[in-house]
Amino acid sequence: MAVTTPDPKQSEMTTREIFMSEALREAIDEEMQRDPTVFLVGEEVGVWGGAYAVSAGLLEKWGPDRIVDTPIAEAAIAGLGIGAALTGSRPIAEFMYSDFMGIAMDQIVNQAAKNRYMFGGKATLPLTYRAPFGAGTGNAAQHTQSLEAWFAHVPGLKVITASTPYDAKGLLKSAIREDNVVVMFEHKALYAMRGHVPEEEYLVPIGVADVKREGTDVSVITYARQVHYALEAAEQLSADGISVEVVDIRSLYPLDTEAILRSVRKTHRAVVLYEAVRFGGFGAEIASQIQELAFDDLDAPVLRVGAAHAPVPFSEPLEQGSFPDAAKVVTAIRDSLQGAR
């Protein structure tokens, strides 16, 4: 069931404006304080403070037994997390880039995702994988992919991603407390995004979408950085009297299908926006569910906006041209409004 997250600035909690990287660091730090079995492991998470400074300062506070630097060995990082989770710890295993998770696919897909089922539920696997993903930072073909659909496809994995510092902190805390494997994709271009985050304790539930902007004419279903392009497009179109609803799914699996359907049944139009390659991306699953479950409510075909089917260029103009942006979202929304069935 979707919620409309209260603006942290308007809440009764004490808030301050911090970077998403800081919000994630607070989540890790607070959960380590709350539970002595929580630890962080990954490449350069200690001395270097993480590739994007998420764990900066945590080695000095918690020491090398709980902030564990590893060699460049993704399969070992993934497997270490599984073993530790099965034997009583709550590990957070960080991959420097989600692109490198391919090296650890057997551990993630055939071990982490399957163990609880294969042990008949007698074992829990409280393991969180963290992975930077996405474009916009000039990291080229091997460090820029959005591969989240791979993992949402695998039974036994929960898959989440955040578009704001508020959501990032609350989702990561919920993931760490899960007794199941959670894969959290963190968009690289959002680490430096600032947002209001409460000082008090809070959680963001996994599997619950968030309506970032209410509207009546068309629904844009999206996640991660694309939420901001959707909001920018919605603001532009409001000048023309077009009311756009923006739904941030936050959780790819479990997917809050009811929230998506509720929005589409209100607006009767849907644009699915995602940064992954359009062909075969997770947005195709969302579009399929809308078509199957809300076909009679649609006044126009479901449209998808995604990235080009090509390796990500290193050239900044070519990279920008390969991915969705606010202008492409505006075009898709106008097409939807003109495409009555």
pLDDT of 9 strictly over 60: no
pLDDT band at 201 (very low <50, low <70, confident <90, very high): very high
DSSP 196-215: EEESS-----TT--EEEE--
Question: Model pTM greater than 0.85?
Answer: yes
> Exposed (0-12), middle (13-18) or buried (19+): which is 94, by Cβ within 10 Å?
buried
pLDDT band at 8 (very low <50, low <70, confident <90, very high): low
What share of the chain has pLDDT > 70, as a percent? 95
Residue 269: other Cβ atoms inside 10 A = 25
Strands (DSSP E) found in the chain? 15-19, 38-43, 67-70, 90-94, 128-133, 157-161, 181-187, 194-198, 210-213, 218-222, 244-248, 251-253, 270-277, 303-307
All residues at 6 or more sequence positions from 54 whose CB lies less than 8 Å from its CB, including other chains: 21, 24, 25, 28, 94, 130, 186, 191
pLDDT of 11 strictly over 70: no
Residue 252: other Cβ atoms inside 10 A = 25
Region 56-66 average pLDDT: 97
pLDDT of 2 strictly over 70: no
What pLDDT is stored for residue 6 in this prediction? 55
pLDDT of 339 strictly over 80: no
What pLDDT is stored for residue 328 in this prediction? 95
pLDDT of 298 strictly over 60: yes
Region 162-191 average pLDDT: 97
All residues at 6 or more sequence positions from 219 whose CB lies less than 8 Å from its CB, including other chains: 244, 245, 246, 247, 260, 263, 264, 266, 267, 269, 270, 271
Mutual angle of helices 226-238 and 326-338, in 10-degree steps: 60
Architecture of domain 210-338: 3-Layer(aba) Sandwich (3.40)
Region 129-148 average pLDDT: 83
Q: Which two tokens stand for residue 280?
A: 């075969």
pLDDT band at 134 (very low <50, low <70, confident <90, very high): confident
Pairing of strands 210-213, 244-248: antiparallel
Region 236-253 average pLDDT: 98
Region 47-56 average pLDDT: 95
Dist CA 64 CA 66 (whole Å): 5
Out of 143-152, 185-194, 211-220, least confident range: 143-152
Using CA atoms of 68, 72, 75, 81 in order, give the dihedral in degrees to the nearest 10.
10
**What are the pLDDT digits (tens) for 140-161?**
777 778 899 999 999 999 999 9
Using CA atoms of 168, 315, 73, 152 in order, give the dihedral in degrees to the nearest 10.
50
Dist CA 94 CA 296 (whole Å): 44
Q: Are 92 and 28 in contact (CB under 8 A)?
A: yes
Q: Which CATH class is domain 13-198?
A: alpha beta
So where are the chain's domains? 13-198, 210-338
13-198 against 210-338: fold identical: yes
9 vs 157 pLDDT, higher one: 157
Catalytic residues: 74, 143
What pLDDT is stored for residue 336 in this prediction? 96
Tell me the CB-side half-sphere exposure of residue 176, using CA atoms within 13 A: 30
All residues at 6 or more sequence positions from 205 whose CB lies less than 8 Å from its CB, including other chains: 174
What pLDDT is stored for residue 121 in this prediction? 85
